[in-house]
Structure 1
């Protein structure tokens, strides 16, 4: 299979042979390794994105700058035998969000420094998102203000690329996206972006960018972020309903080579994902699902070790994660509500997977390393494997490689996305 380019997507859609690219939004090394191993096996594009809160010029919550993140990805790629030409690095929600409690000038200065660092580190896909208000402003801004701030960011990105002699980046615009990490409440309906609103967003951005002297970048705007009507909360998932998105999909008819970028496509499954690609949502972003299935596999191994090894203890990884999250509730407390029992359940099993913020803590890393060390080389009987990890039955009754079990579990989700991104051609041809 030939690795797709981002610039291929619009033409393929308009030729009636739509394809998609999965955008992996995670900084977890095991998720990254799984993505790169999957890319090597399928010879497909590996699009890996970092967000402004996660990775920025000041370190973000991962402690990584864009250059550090790029080094991590390419180091893992070398280990996994995935070629650099297959890899695209992207920056998501690049704008003032991490500094929105500051006055707008200060926040935008930080955002411009951040996007410059992303470009300098070789990130070739940039989502411009200046839609959030800063100190003293409304929480959400109008299209005109958002577009002017996006132009400020784009100007800095273009200047950085030119000064450094780098290939100029591709851009995603549009800001009607679900809450990062999913919604906090049970969902019953999600309305797709209004078609007129999508056209207005595009028109205003193009006009403002031209007036800002950025006409040269307009043909490098490859996608528009819209809400297709998909979302997940702590407890449930709203899957794609093509019948409700018809007017929005028609917007693509007059947009040359643009496609839609869909956020929060986690947990959709192959059918809805395939329909999204068919309808022009060619960039499918996924993050929490990948760390959710990773946590699922880690907890299953924790149970296996508890049942198999007399000296391991009773689910020590689970209990350590509970202690870590209770000692630092900042990343979950405002999202999980209800009784103490309900909050405890969500800390570990919510679809929003806010436990992902804690895997990089020293305590969590030590607990994971102890688990993997305890199981490495152990013989897990088939009935015990069936009890806790039936999908990994192939690993029973022989020396266990627990890291591979984790990677395979993430790859299962990535395989669903890959199939959806490349299945619509056959579907359309069969329909015709």
Structure 2
């Protein structure tokens, strides 16, 4: 069997080496390309996870099944010359998340099929997340219900693993204090970290549920538990990590043989905050919307540059206007998130940290507009002063000969700017790379 690189990193962390790994939760090709290029520069692993919203057995909002997403990621890795054995694929929030409006009797069989599809496709990091209430469930769910449902999914995952050609054993992630996928809906106030007592109760509930479900041996494959370090973001605010506030939580896993913490919603944290998280035993740091937020910044910057350089208005992509029109004509992915006046909603659609634009980037009209913009910029060339005005960090790298001043390369590097703090925090390479 192949080297289990993820478990090696987590074992080093448990030994006090002070390393971690960041998990890229995105399905956008430019984000995946940027992540793989960053891993190439750092000579590191790359951990890429699909969420249950993005990718499921029916296609998710990306239109991709787990097999499709696997082939999509590995195809980009091949194109970049990145070894496949350094790509770790994971499934995030696998459970009834997509079917919360249905009863558990309907939602859980779909969740079982979801987990089965991911494992059969070769994903070796599986987050079993049954923390959300379905129709008719109590709110919130008890640890016992969450654990019982997670054990039910564990049975399916282990059965699927028995027939799948997996390169390494599955590393499972559990946890009942799971932030909402993609950031908070509401304006946030003060957050309270998970207590050490809650961690112990969650572990005990899952061990008991696994025993009852007949998958006691699978406990040895549980690598991490999701707990709340009191980090989150809403539309306009980021709640920063404060190490001094977590108290005994940092020692809650001291009596566990191999478990580490996994942190969700770490987007927009500073590198020093991320480093503190790693040192406080959050060995896995999840990032998603922060990467497409950076991509959106790059796209809007290039759209502004295009408006200056392409004199004939009929030849411009009008990318920002296209995005706005598509979002207002199909408001399903943002209207439950952005409140206020029409103007306030417009500002939020374009600039919110929660980055609901990411759901629209696969739209055919938007893809066509992006392609046209990049083609226009390739044709006219981008002068240095305009790069300096709109993408100053990229301008520095262009001047130093590290970066080609094409639209595509500028976008990829802008996304890498959002990854570089994670590189430094996890001790994986140089945050300058």
Q: TM-score, normalised by structure 1?
A: 0.94
Q: 1:312 & 1:302 partners in 2: Cα distance?
A: 12
C-alpha displacement at 1:357, in angstroms? Answer: 0.3
**Which of 346, 362, 365 is 1:363 aligned to?**
365
Q: 1:39 & 1:10 partners in 2: Cα distance?
A: 18
Which aligned pairs between 1:198-209 and structure 2 lie closer than 5 A? 198-209=199-210
1:428 counterpart residue number: none
Q: 1:242 & 1:400 partners in 2: Cα distance?
A: 40
Q: Deviations over 1:133-160 (max 9, x none)?
A: 2221124311111111111101011111
CA distance change for structure 1 residues 209 and 383 in 2, over 3 Å: closer, same or farther? same
2:147 counterpart residue number: 147
1:61 counterpart residue number: 61
Q: 1:61 & 1:143 partners in 2: Cα distance?
A: 30
Q: 1:360 & 1:32 partners in 2: Cα distance?
A: 14
Residues 259 and 282, structure 1, Cα contact 8 Å, conserved in 2: yes
Q: 1:126 & 1:364 partners in 2: Cα distance?
A: 32
Residues 88 and 125, structure 1, Cα contact 8 Å, conserved in 2: yes
Q: 1:331 & 1:357 partners in 2: Cα distance?
A: 7
Residues 229 and 240, structure 1, Cα contact 8 Å, conserved in 2: yes
Q: TM-score, normalised by structure 2?
A: 0.93
Q: 1:111 & 1:4 partners in 2: Cα distance?
A: 27
Which aligned pairs between 1:132-211 and structure 2 lie closer than 5 A? 132-166=132-166, 167-211=168-212
C-alpha displacement at 1:75, in angstroms? Answer: 0.4
2:299 counterpart residue number: 298
**Which of 319, 322, 334 is 1:320 aligned to?**
322
Deviates more, 1:185-194 or 1:119-128: 185-194
Residues 378 and 399, structure 1, Cα contact 8 Å, conserved in 2: no
CA distance change for structure 1 residues 419 and 89 in 2, over 3 Å: closer, same or farther? same
Residues 274 and 423, structure 1, Cα contact 8 Å, conserved in 2: no
Q: 2:165 & 2:50 partners in 1: Cα distance?
A: 23
1:244 aligns with 2:245: yes
Which aligned pairs between 1:28-427 and structure 2 lie closer than 5 A? 28-166=28-166, 167-312=168-313, 316-393=318-395, 394-395=397-398, 400-422=405-427
C-alpha displacement at 1:17, in angstroms? Answer: 1.4
Q: 2:428 & 2:74 partners in 1: Cα distance?
A: 29
C-alpha displacement at 1:188, in angstroms? Answer: 3.5
Deviates more, 1:381-390 or 1:223-232: 381-390
Q: Deviations over 1:95-117 (max 9, x none)?
A: 11111222212211111111000
Q: State the secondary structure of the residue aligned to 2:253.
A: helix
Structure 1, unmatched stretches of 5+, are 425-432
Q: Deviations over 1:315-368 (max 9, x none)?
A: 711111000000011100110011111110000000000000001011101110
Q: State the secondary structure of the residue aligned to 1:64.
A: coil
C-alpha displacement at 1:423, in angstroms? Answer: 7.7
Q: 1:254 & 1:378 partners in 2: Cα distance?
A: 62
Q: 1:52 & 1:93 partners in 2: Cα distance?
A: 6
Deviates more, 1:97-106 or 1:235-244: 97-106
Q: 1:332 & 1:217 partners in 2: Cα distance?
A: 39
Q: 1:229 & 1:356 partners in 2: Cα distance?
A: 24
Aligned length: 422
Q: CA RMSD in A?
A: 1.9
Q: State the secondary structure of the residue aligned to 1:253.
A: coil
Residues 377 and 400, structure 1, Cα contact 8 Å, conserved in 2: no
Deviates more, 1:391-400 or 1:179-188: 391-400
C-alpha displacement at 1:168, in angstroms? Answer: 3.5
Deviates more, 1:284-293 or 1:174-183: 174-183
Deviates more, 1:182-191 or 1:323-332: 182-191
CA distance change for structure 1 residues 399 and 309 in 2, over 3 Å: closer, same or farther? farther
CA distance change for structure 1 residues 411 and 54 in 2, over 3 Å: closer, same or farther? same
Q: 1:399 & 1:203 partners in 2: Cα distance?
A: 53
Residues 303 and 315, structure 1, Cα contact 8 Å, conserved in 2: no
Q: State the secondary structure of the residue aligned to 1:148.
A: helix
C-alpha displacement at 1:4, in angstroms? Answer: 8.4
CA distance change for structure 1 residues 185 and 105 in 2, over 3 Å: closer, same or farther? closer
C-alpha displacement at 1:386, in angstroms? Answer: 1.9
Q: State the secondary structure of the residue aligned to 1:78.
A: helix
Q: 1:123 & 1:320 partners in 2: Cα distance?
A: 36
